Structure 1
Amino acid sequence: MTNSKKMLALLLSGTLLAGPLAAETELTVYTAVEAEDLARYAETFNAQHPDIKINWVRDSTGIITAKLLAERDNPQADVVWGLAATSLLLLKSEGMLEAYAPAGVDLLDKKFVDSSTPPAWVGMDAWVAAVCYNTVEAEKAGLTPPTSWKDLADPKYKGHVIMPNPNSSGTGFLDVSSWLQLFGEEGGWAYMDALHENIARYTHSGSKPCKLAASGEIPIGISFAFRGAKSKAAGAPLEIIVPSEGVGWDMEATAIVAGTDDLEAAKTLVDFSITKEANEMYNTGYAVVAMPGVAKPVEYFPEGLLEAMIDNDFEFAANNRAAILKEWQARYDSKSEPKG
């Protein structure tokens, strides 16, 4: 990739820049990692590798995935650091990833490593669906806590639920994918039809429904568990509910984009991305990380959540992604927030 192309990509995408000013090599890194974490990731990496500058291009999972697919014939990214594994499986199937086994990959939990040899991607951490329930606002509305996904389709919750749009949000997609796995295709769409009647609106961020519940704007936000734990630790009157049927999950993962002009630097970054130090960084934002024995307990992380994680069929989710999103959009997009 030429420097001019890189600069154009950065200008068009509102990139956040991090790293030393006098770097010898620049990597354009696409990510869906929470924006507040990016400077810390780059700073930690640059402490060991000051000669490589990271130029971040950050957006939600769906937007980054669509951007990568649109750039298939003219890649602008060198590395993807922090994108849903279901998205990377799709990119792998399109021949868009450079297979690479980073140093120390054998130390990771095998479910966090692509099954090919060498792997096309390696996992970082996992995020798990949960329901954020504002006890104060729910009481004002005369609601009682749901205990299952199907409870949320009860008419008493009409207008009191917000969830992420799966076309924009990886959390939204893991919700929809998990419901189709839990309830079957016919039952899953029937459930979402009923749930749609109760949805106030769909957001373009996976964390936003829980943030809105935490602030009292809505009693119920379908989001992910760590976001709920973080908001509760900050004093929000939240109950974090683990639906009885089980919960969907996905993992953030890292890969090299095929065709990068800076392959050695990209390999250096991916090597770092699976180190113990990197996994300790991930643990500040996620309770489940790729390297066993690293994760520390997270305050207010709901009991029983890890046991409730479904046996997620990532291949199903990746192979059917386009069809699922098209169907979802046709049925429910009328309640989505405006983009931007």
Structure 2
Amino acid sequence: MKKCRLLFIPLLLLVLIGSFSAMAAEKITAYVSTDEELGRQLMAAFTKSTGIQVDWVRLSTGEAQARIAAERNNPQASIWVGGVGLDHIAAKKDGLTAPYFSPKAAKIARQYKDKDGYWCGIYNNPLCFVYNTQKLAEKKLRAPNSWASLLKPAYKGQIQMANPQTSGTAYNVITTLIALHQGDEAKAFAYLKKLNQNVSQYTRSGAAPGKNAALGETAIALGYCDDQLRLIASGYPIKIGFPKEGTGFEVASISMIKNGPQFETAKKLYDWLLGEEAGKIMAQNFLLVFAKVPLRQGAIPLTKIKVVDQDDEWGGKNKDRLVEKWLNEVYQK
């Protein structure tokens, strides 16, 4: 009997150690480039649904790409969630991400996912103008209704947008303007140089200009529609508008990080983000999700907006060059 007990104790310890090891494996690190509150909602819901803990860091799209590049020889995260698809395409080009064909991606339209499995879209989101109605009234300014109108001398110092070095939103502005000028980069950058004269601040993140407009710190801002709709729903004195020439949009995406330390477990988060539960959370945040869930009242589908014929593959592959061009010809002038 004593011998049996002695044999049983080591076996019990092995079982417990194995159980603890399994529990420890069910944990992942993620870089999240959605709105911070949305990221919090998504990660909390995933953990509640699966029991898998997510240690996540909120980074703007450009910051996430730069962090993944800096850590490429020793990755600290396994999945990149959200952020402008242009940067996910650039990350693929730079060898920072790895392919994963999620079974949940089968129903996503072909134009919203990578044919090689390196990224998959989770929602659409159009660029818009946002303006503080009180600030415009105070300065006796009309709301902008076109890209051309943003160049008016009356708007000098009244506009904010993000910096394309750190913000995928701002880089999407550059690619949108190139598309509007039928691929003529010289004309697009001539416009950006003129716009620069009216910009008071280039912020780190794409959401910051809209928040600053809501607080009355700027009259006009450029950003994605969902951020502004949430601010409007919270009661801030702002309105949105879309440029009559046409606007661009993001295909917010997810990617697996190459050689990520919890690669297999991160696939579970990837799959979950493409499903109905995550889709409902994103839809409640005014996002145009690809999952088959109802959109929130007030969300504005792309079919209701004039959008440009943008080439995201080209934009992703030319990001480094175009951002460098913007720094040299616009920002530092």
TM range (shorter): 0.7 to 0.9
Q: Is contact 2:132-2:214 (8 Å) kept? A: yes
| Aligned-residue CA RMSD (Å) | 2.0
- Asked if 1:249 corresponds to 2:266, the answer is no
The answer to whether structure 1 residue 79 and structure 2 residue 57 are counterparts is no
| One-letter amino acid of the structure 2 residue matched with residue 174 of structure 1 | N
- 3-state SS of paired residue (1:129): strand
Match of 1:225 in 2: 225
- 2:279 match: secondary structure: helix
Counterpart-to-counterpart distance in 1, 2:301 and 2:97:
37
Percentage of matched positions with identical amino acids:
28
Amino acid at match of 1:288: L
1:27 has 2:28 as partner: yes
Following superposition, which runs of at least 4 residues in structure 1 exceed 6 angstroms of deviation? none
1:48 and 1:304 map into 2 onto residues whose CA distance is 31
Of 133, 146, 149, 1:148 maps to 146
Q: CA deviation at 1:109?
A: 2.9
Report how far residue 48 of structure 1 moved.
2.7
Give the counterpart letter for 2:40 in structure 1: A
Match for residue 161 of structure 1?
Answer: 159
* Residue in 2 that maps onto 1:19: none
CA shift for structure 1 position 260? 2.6
The equivalent of 1:205 in structure 2 is: 205
Partner of 2:189: 189
TM-score (ref. length: structure 1): 0.85
* Residues 1-340 of structure 1: pairs in structure 2 closer than 5 A: 23-50=24-51, 52-116=52-116, 119-183=117-181, 184-291=184-291, 293-299=292-298, 301=299, 306-333=304-331
Residue type at the aligned position of 1:40: Q
Q: Within 1, Cα distance between the matches of 2:31 and 2:324?
A: 24
**Larger CA Rg, structure 1 vs 2:** 2
The answer as to whether partners of 1:28 and 1:79 remain within 8 angstroms in 2 is yes
Q: Deviations over 1:122-174 (max 9, x none)?
A: 11112211001122211211211221011101111111111111111111111
Alignment-mate amino acid for residue 143 of structure 1: L
In structure 2, relative to structure 1, the CA distance for the partners of 1:303 and 1:31 (3 Å cut) is closer
AA in 2 matched with 1:76: Q
> Would you say the 8 A contact 1:242–1:302 is kept in 2?
no
SS class of match (1:104): helix
Structure with the bigger RCO (C-alpha within 8 Å, sep 6+) is 2
Equivalents in 1 of 2:257, 2:287: separation in Å?
Answer: 28
Unaligned runs of 5+ in 1: 1-21, 336-340
Deviation at 1:81, TM superposition (A): 1.5
- CA distance in structure 2 between the aligned counterparts of 1:330 and 1:314, rounded to whole angstroms: 23
